[in-house]
Structure 1
Amino acid sequence: MTHRGPVVRHAPGKLFVAGEYAVVQPGTPAILVAVDRQVGVTVAGAGSGDVTVTSDLCPQGARLRRTRDGLTAYDADDEQRARVSLAHVVSALDVMDGLLTERGLTPPALRISVSSGLHTGGTKYGLGSSGAVTVATIAAVTDYCGLDLTPEARFRLAMLATARLDAKSSGGDLAASTWGGWIAYEAPDRIAVLELARRRGIEEVMRAPWPGFGLRRLPPPRGLTLEVGWTGEPVSTGSLVSRLDTGGRADGAGYRDFLTRSTAVVRACVQALERADHRELLHQIRCARQVLTRLDNETGLGIFTDKLTVLCDAAEAVGGAAKPSGAGGGDCGIALLDAGAQTDISQMRARWAAADVVPLELAPADERNMSDER
């Protein structure tokens, strides 16, 4: 196995355009777009020891040693940081160790450092930082060890690493961070992926068909501008998704109806994007807002906050379309408007500012602005 000099790999954050909550069900579609704020992961060799991991959000880092049970922290402080602040990096490293071992290779001693543009002052925007750091870690270790893996293979490794931490995570953020641009995504059955890894190993996870998984690239909506507003209220997506399961709400007739309506909207959005039908796309984004509103009213999840409601109403008041992006409850909302309507965009942003919604200067990220370096 060839070890290169220090390797830096980046992965972009993401925004959900449509299909939130529904996408956690295998085979149910969503649309996501990667954004041009990134997480960077640097991998370098270590002179001694096993693995050290640091990040700009956890500068104390964690020291880890390799055991038969995987990466294990040296002491209680390292364990706390490895399980909380650095959990996704550690899980990705564990998966890569497993792959190298299956190939008869010895995992090298490593120094890992993470820097992120998906937060400000330690407060996350809700742009999928956990997914981006997982994807970037897989890519950096892959390149450092001289492995030749396709984007789908790297995505599958990232999905396995994520599912080990939370089998309810859809992996849509991982797909957007891996492929960039606008994508239609359907989540695999994560329980089946975990079971496959347990029975057959990581190599088989990378090769075997995955029930439910689907991905296709979509053309961007040229002529429309994607505006992003940040509420300043960070939210745990996992906690909101878990609350949907409380009391069996995710198994009831109302939720099944939600899945049907969400799927119809997402498929209509896909058709509108592929036909460059901007009027229909805006209509379907408004429908997507209504689908989430009905889910929120029926479940009491708190998807719509006062700020997110103002964000959406301000966009619709000037002829645009808007909705929460992701789990809601805070984080970001998105708006689509005519790119040439600068007066409308300014009016919308003024209403956002009055409600303490911060416009984020973001653009979609594709292969041309997803940077990597060695």
Structure 2
Amino acid sequence: MSAEGTVSRQAPGKLFVSGEYAVIEPGTPAIVMAVDRYVRVTVSEPAGADIVIVSDLLDGEARFRLKAGGGLVWCGLGDGERARSGLACVLSVIEVMHTQLAERGWSVSGAHLSISSELHDRGTKFGLGSSGAVTVATVAALAAYHGLDLSPEARFRLALIATARLNTRSSCADLAASTWGGWIAYRAPDRAAVLATAARKGIDEAVRAEWPGFEVRRLPPPARLGMEIGWTGTPVSTDSLVSRLGRRHWQGSTAHKRFMARMTDCVHTSITALEKGDRETLLHGIRRSRRALAELDEAVGLGIFTPKLTALCEAAEVLGGAAKPSGAGGGDCGIALMPAEADARIGKLRTRWATAGVRHLPLRPAEISTSERNVRNDR
């Protein structure tokens, strides 16, 4: 195996359409959409260290030395812990892929990674899944650099293993959107079980293994509806909110069971509406999804609905659309589906958002060319 010169790969960000929080549980469906802002990772030969990483979200270079078995040791100047924290996703990918190469008996070479992102505004993240996008882009770029011919599903599986090593509560829906693009229905595997397989049998075997509960299915875009995206200007840590939910002893409660049933039904209804081109049923499904999140917020007190997100939703409802927070809430983005022919109402919506302090983001679905249409757990 030899490095393949300089290679670049990019991956799009994402927005949740429906299924937030419920999708954390294996086999529970959600709808996500890839958006046309990207993270790009360029890999080339390193100089001065085994692994050198430069990112537009970091000051200076991060330098690491490779350990036997795929680990990384900080060898740069400055605060190594801060660099590790900011690059956690990238470093996890490097360690997972180097472990995989070692399992195959391939030599492991160093690499210089340069990372640039369109998913932030001068360092403030939009909430478009930047962690997932950089993870997927890093897997793709390192695979190309090391001469690995990986299918989209294999790249996704490596990205999920790298993510689950950091947090098994991450649904990894963002990874699916960044890998396959467009509108997709997603169900997560049991990430702890995947890690257990990797620990027992190795990364290669875990990538090839059956993943019960896992499914990715392409969906058509909404018929006769436009997607409007608003940004509150307040970045939020999804991991922090999900972790807070876990500390509220919510699992197994009556409120938990009710939320899971309602949100799952909302997602199934919305998937069917998308596949049939049923505009009114899809709008109804988005409204029901918003109500399910509001009931979760009331029961657990996560702070999903901020004043700006509430104003974003109400403005769309008044004008005949359907809206909800996208993702964990607490800030970041909200989405609104509006009748495509209602140009005047869309203009009014953006004006009302601006008055409420919500910034309109001109985003479109990001399509990725791939022959893999649907992926199920039965391999």
Q: Is the contact between residue 12 and residue 34 of structure 2 (CA under 8 Å) also seen in structure 1?
A: yes
Query: What is the CA–CA distance in structure 1 between the aligned matches of 2:7 and 2:79, rounded to whole Å?
Result: 24
Matched residue SS, 2:8: strand
Q: In the alignment, does 2:35 pair up with 1:54?
A: no
Residue matched to 1:32: 32
Cα deviation for residue 185 of structure 1 reads 0.4
Shift in Å, 1:270: 0.3
CA positional deviation for 1:355:
0.5
1:47 Cα deviation (Å)? 4.5
Q: Confirm or deny: 8 A CA contact 1:62 1:81 kept in the other structure.
A: no
How far apart are 1:59 and its partner, in Å?
3.4
Superposed counterparts of 1:316-327, under 5 Å: 316-327=317-328
SS of the aligned residue for 1:10 comes to strand
CA distance in structure 2 between the aligned counterparts of 1:47 and 1:83, rounded to whole angstroms: 20
1:262, 1:291 within 8 Å by CA — same for their partners in 2? yes
How far residue 214 of structure 1 moved from its aligned partner, in angstroms, is: 1.2
Hey, what does 1:93 align to over in structure 2? 94
User: How far apart in 2 are the matches of 1:49 and 1:64?
Assistant: 6
- Secondary structure of the corresponding residue to residue 307 of structure 1: helix
Alignment of 1:332-351 (within 5 A): 332-351=333-352
1:12 is the counterpart of 2:12: yes
What is the CA–CA distance in structure 2 between the aligned matches of 1:291 and 1:46, rounded to whole Å? Answer: 49
* Counterpart for residue 223 of structure 1: 224
Aligned ranges 1:84-233 → 2 under 5 Å: 84-233=85-234
Instruction: Kindly provide the CA deviation profile for residues 300-332 of structure 1, in whole angstroms up to 9, marking residues without a partner as x.
Output: 100000000000000011110000000000000
User: What's the CA shift string for 1:163-188, capped at 9, x where partnerless?
Assistant: 01111100000000000000000111
Task: Indicate how the Cα distance of structure 1 residues 212 and 78 shifts in structure 2: closer, same or farther if over 3 A, else same.
Answer: farther
User: Residue 47 of structure 2 contacts residue 112 of structure 2 at CA under 8 Å; is this kept in 1?
Assistant: no
SS at match of 1:5: coil
The residue matched to 1:247 in structure 2 has which SS? coil
Range 253-262 or range 110-119, more displaced: 253-262
Match of 1:264 in 2: 265
Gaps of 5+ in 1: 370-374
TM-score (norm 1): 0.96
Give how far 1:366 is off.
0.6
Partner of 1:42: 42
Other-structure match for 2:282: 281
Query: Contact (CA 8 Å) 1:30, 1:184: kept in 2 or not?
Result: yes
Partner of 2:242: 241
Moved more, 79-88 or 34-43: 79-88
| CA positional deviation for 1:215 | 1.1
Mapped contact 1:228–1:333 kept (Cα < 8 A): yes
Residues in 2 aligned to 1:240 and 1:130: alpha-carbon distance in whole angstroms: 16
Q: Assess if the C-alpha contact under 8 Å between 2:37 and 2:119 holds in 1.
A: yes
Count matched residues: 369
Residue matched to 2:255: 254
Q: Deviations over 1:28-57 (max 9, x none)?
A: 110000000000000001245310111000
Deviations 1:282-308 (A, max 9, x none): 010001000001000111100000000
Q: Secondary structure at the match of 1:98?
A: helix
The residue number in structure 1 matching 2:3 is: 3
Structure 1 contact 61–78 (Cα < 8 Å) conserved: no
Q: Identity, % of aligned pairs?
A: 57
When structure 1 is superposed on structure 2, of 320-329 and 246-255 the one drifting more is: 246-255
Moved segments of 4+, more than 3 Å: 75-78
CA drift of 1:258 comes to 0.6
Q: What secondary structure sits across from 1:84 in the alignment?
A: helix
Secondary structure at the residue paired with 1:137? helix
Letter in 2 for 1:41: V
Aligned to 2:81: 80
Assess if the C-alpha contact under 8 Å between 1:15 and 1:32 holds in 2: yes
Change (3 A) 1:333 1:172: same
Contact 2:58 2:83 in 1 (8 A): no
Distance in 2, matches of 1:290 and 1:174, equals 26
Distance in 2 separating the partners of 1:82 and 1:323: 35
1:250 shift after superposition: 2.5
Deviations 1:247-266 (A, max 9, x none): 31133121121111110000
Question: How much does 1:76 deviate?
Answer: 7.5
TM-score, with length taken from structure 2: 0.95
1:306 pairs with 2:307: yes
Taking a change above 3 Å as real, the CA distance of residues 226 and 259 of structure 1, as seen in their structure-2 partners, is same
Deviations for 1:176-219, whole angstroms, at most 9, x for unmatched residues? 00000000001110100111110000011111011221111101
Q: Determine if contact 1:272/1:281 at 8 Å carries over to the other structure.
A: yes
